[in-house]
Structure 1
Amino acid sequence: MTAAKLFGICLRICGERASAEDVLQTVYIKVWERAGQFDAARASPITWLATIARNGAIDWRRSVSGRTVRDTLPEQAAFAVADDSPLADQSLVAAEEGEQLHRCLGELEDRTRLCIRAAFFDGSTYAELATRENVPLGTMKSWIRRGLLRLKDCLGDG
């Protein structure tokens, strides 16, 4: 039930399907090993899983930096890909949730919104963002944490 979302996170950060699949496998192994550490008071299950996936994909990206990856397959390989398209009702719900998320992101300060997007949609690390914005790492973490709390309130999860 969580594979599509977590695979999407891994694929977005890794940029290649095979590596994202490998990272996702590693993520599920970590989840299995750390299941006893889950604390429902700190985060929802999907948030916890998404965080593990994001961190795993970032770790993979760091490990391959400097190496050339991304071998391309022949065009015919595209026909072998299964159609994982969501059902119509799932698409509608996802679209509504996406609109609400974009509306809530729009209510954040520009700086906070851009940092959250870079961290969670592009896979940038907090350290990379702190360097890019020329602020201490603790400041970057605080900006993002406060922004996420505002998003949570806006989305009605808090």
Structure 2
Amino acid sequence: MSAPDPFDYDAALAACARGERQALAQIYQREGRYLLGVALRIVRQRQSAEDVLHDAFVSIWQRARSFDPGRGAGRGWIYSVVRHAALNWVRSHGREVPVDEERQAALEDELALDRHAGSLDPAETRAELGRLETCLDRLEPERRECIVLAYLDGCSHGEIAQRTHKPLGTIKSWIQRGMRSLRECMA
């Protein structure tokens, strides 16, 4: 895995809450392309993904005051806002979006996570995050890295294969098996 990121997402969100537009611009500059990847993976249309990302950043700006670092990391909160915006877009457009098996599994994971996260109080959320971290630590480092790149950074399987210099089939297999292991560990 890469070295820890020195950018302070929590501080950037606090600056957004104070009305400092530069903080939002910094978040966009650092994460925009990855967040676009997350939206694109869900809505499957570039123009719509760009619209979702725009709406998500408006929401981040407007809701920055509601971010509570005691409930989770700022970077995760930002990605959650984008995922929710993309899922809401799919729901509100009420049409079938063609999905392959890989995308269907990812959407099911996202929806299950959203439903589960919405049903927990802050203390339960922290406990679940602790369990998730423990479960992630049990994975082989290469599988853990692939899952983090896919679900946190919004990378496609092809992008992960390029970054890790591994065959695409291997990456798909590692992510699928890793997610299965995480589900079993969290159950």
User: TM-score when scaled to structure 1?
Assistant: 0.53
The match for 1:115 is: 146
Structure 1: runs of 5+ lacking an equivalent: 1-10, 54-85
C-alpha distance in structure 2 between counterparts of 1:24 and 1:149, whole Å: 22
C-alpha distance in structure 2 between counterparts of 1:145 and 1:46, whole Å: 13
Question: Mapping of 1:1-158 within 5 angstroms?
Answer: 13-14=35-36, 17-18=57-58, 20=82, 23-29=86-92, 32-34=94-96, 47=109, 49=111, 90-156=121-187
C-alpha distance in structure 2 between counterparts of 1:50 and 1:92, whole Å: 19
Q: Specify the structure having the higher radius of gyration (Cα).
A: 1
C-alpha distance in structure 1 between counterparts of 2:180 and 2:108, whole Å: 17
Q: 1:50 to 1:13 in 2, by over 3 A?
A: farther
Shift, 1:34, TM fit: 3.7
Q: Alignment RMSD, CA only?
A: 3.8
Shift, 1:48, TM fit: 5.8
What secondary structure, in the 3-state scheme, does the structure 1 residue paired with 2:58 have?
A: helix
C-alpha distance in structure 1 between counterparts of 2:177 and 2:122, whole Å: 30
Structure 2: runs of 5+ lacking an equivalent: 1-31, 37-52, 60-81
User: TM-score when scaled to structure 2?
Assistant: 0.45
C-alpha distance in structure 2 between counterparts of 1:155 and 1:145, whole Å: 15
Q: 1:150 to 1:98 in 2, by over 3 A?
A: same
Q: 1:17 to 1:148 in 2, by over 3 A?
A: same
Identity of aligned residues (%): 32
Higher helix share: 2
Q: 1:144 to 1:13 in 2, by over 3 A?
A: same
Q: 1:48 to 1:132 in 2, by over 3 A?
A: closer
What secondary structure, in the 3-state scheme, does the structure 1 residue paired with 2:153 have?
A: coil
Cα deviations across residues 101-129 of structure 1 (Å, max 9, x unaligned)? 00000000111111101100111111000
Q: 1:122 to 1:50 in 2, by over 3 A?
A: farther
C-alpha distance in structure 2 between counterparts of 1:47 and 1:34, whole Å: 18
Q: 1:153 to 1:49 in 2, by over 3 A?
A: closer
C-alpha distance in structure 1 between counterparts of 2:128 and 2:180, whole Å: 17
